[in-house]
Amino acid sequence: MASFARVRRALARSPLEASLVIAALAVTLYVVVAPLSVSRYVPMTDLPFHATQGATFLHYWDPAYHLREQFELTPFANPYTTSYAIIALAMTVFPMTWAVKISVVAMLLCVPAGLAVLAHGARKSPLLGLLGLGIIWGNLAQWGFLNYVAACGLFAMAIGFTLLCLDRPTRGRQLGLFLTLLAVYLTHIWRYPFTLAAVAGTTIVMLPATRRVRPVLLPLLAGLVVFGVWWKIKPASLGGKIEVGWHLDRLAKEFEKVMTEGFKDDGVRRALLFQLDMAWVVGLVSGAHAALRWARGRRRITAWDVGVTIAPLACAIVFLVLFLILPLWINAWWYVYPREATAATIIAFGVCPDLPRTRWLRVALVALMAVPAIRVAREVKDRYADFAGPSEEFYRITRQIPQAPKLFYLVFEHSGTRRSTTPFMHMPAYVQAEKGGWLSWHMGRWRQSPVHYRWPNDKLAVLPPDTPARWEWTPERFKLSMTPFFDWFLVRKKSSPDALFAKDPTIVRVDHVGTWWLYRRVPKTR
């Protein structure tokens, strides 16, 4: 009741600000949810395997799904569990496809929420969280790297809670900082050591303004203990040597591209660049307004102002350096350095000065943040709508696959959407997410996720046969000798793939829907 009373007083005190907050929340929900509403499945390349890993958390002990025979669960040693836990919890109430979308929403919301907390901690308007709204639909999301995108938002949130603790320390804020650190750990381990360093660095930078260290020590020490425990139990697949070297040409040739590509046409790219341009405008106008106030003596530059600018700026510079020096591969981790462009951009939004208090100017700048984000969402929604037909074809044909199949899949045909990277390659993983069973190829082979294959010598292990490296990208290497373990076969191809199975009379066609072809193995007849 006390909280509601404070909200009512805030509404009465500043109706305009309350209206802007409500509008910002509405815009945020639209931007995040609208693109997910146009097709049954979401055309993000790796999302089907996020779905099956989340479903494995839920059905691991159910013998009808046969998942425990294949997988080990290591949620703390391979801490990428946040989205999978959300999927598992949501699947107890909603269908699998809805649960996956709920997880996508939760992951993407971390970016504007994290930037809002950062702005609030810096004594700025949380409305600045809108700066990061459009960028959530950039290239990383289209690949399905949702854990990483969410971790970037949580990174900003950790700095925000650090500032809150240093400004006016309370136990609630300290708890918020620790829980945010824990969320980063469970979401993407690659961001976690940088987050710990950012908390420590922010504390040092803010020391002239706050003269405080103690409020941050307990959450930071607890976070370091978590990291120390992980370092002891981490699997070998998450270690290894990192080869670095300067590649300054990436700044001009790739920085923009790796953030905005994702579709064959330029509509989404132009919308994202427009959103980034408007972020610059908001920053420049807010900075000019603040400079004018300082020049007129209405406000002076304080150590606090300097510190809350240096902290996110320094983090953005660190991520920019990582973009310039990291390799593309680290062990089985792929697309390593390109991710840092998005990380640097998101945290750089935290440098933006506070919004002006002049009413008309404040409204105008909020609109300059909201309208481009809406445009990005509409462009993405338009392209995701292309996926509705093929995804319904997939849904219809997979209704005929029974519980716990041993499913061999081949995806030859990748047309049907405007995505620049195929959203079809891993789609059959949705069958495992819904029905359990085995897949002919699974990301669990890499042993980098919290759901990964058992070792072959494990007594419980019932595993499909190994496949060649990059098999999922090269189905033309298919041979019938790969198939004895499997009893169902799903192929995406424009023309009939009957010839692939013609030499094995036990494999017969079941159905054909659009570009999807379904086969099954029947017992031999005498």
pLDDT digits (tens, 9 = 90+) for 207-227: 999 999 999 999 999 999 999
- What pLDDT does 11 receive? 58
Distances in Å between the Cα of 112 and the Cα atoms of 192, 315, 440, 453 are 19, 17, 38, 35
- What pLDDT does 299 receive? 72
Domain ranges of the chain: 2-384, 388-521
- What pLDDT does 361 receive? 96
- Please measure the distance between the N-terminal and C-terminal CA atoms of the chain and give it in whole angstroms: 77
- What pLDDT does 66 receive? 97
- What pLDDT does 524 receive? 74
**3 state DSSP class of 239:** coil
- What pLDDT does 363 receive? 96
> 265, 355, 351, 268: which is closest to 315 by C-alpha?
351
- What pLDDT does 285 receive? 97
> 65, 58, 61, 108: which is closest to 84 by C-alpha?
58
H-helix segments, 427-471: 429-435
Beta strand pairing status for 451-453 and 71-73? antiparallel
- What pLDDT does 334 receive? 87
> 175, 262, 251: which is closest to 218 by C-alpha?
175
d(CA 308, CA 331): 36
- What pLDDT does 10 receive? 57
d(CA 95, CA 185): 28
Max intra-chain CA distance, the chain: 97
- What pLDDT does 525 receive? 63
d(CA 272, CA 342): 12
Residue type at 471 in one-letter notation? W
Q: What is the mean pLDDT of each run of 10 residues along the chain (526 residues)?
A: 55 80 96 98 97 98 97 94 97 98 98 98 97 97 97 98 97 97 96 98 97 97 97 83 92 95 96 97 95 82 94 98 95 89 98 94 97 98 97 97 98 96 96 98 90 94 92 94 97 97 96 97 78
For 411, the token pair is 């995806």
Phi-psi region of 73 (alpha: psi -120 to 50; beta: other; left: phi over 0): beta
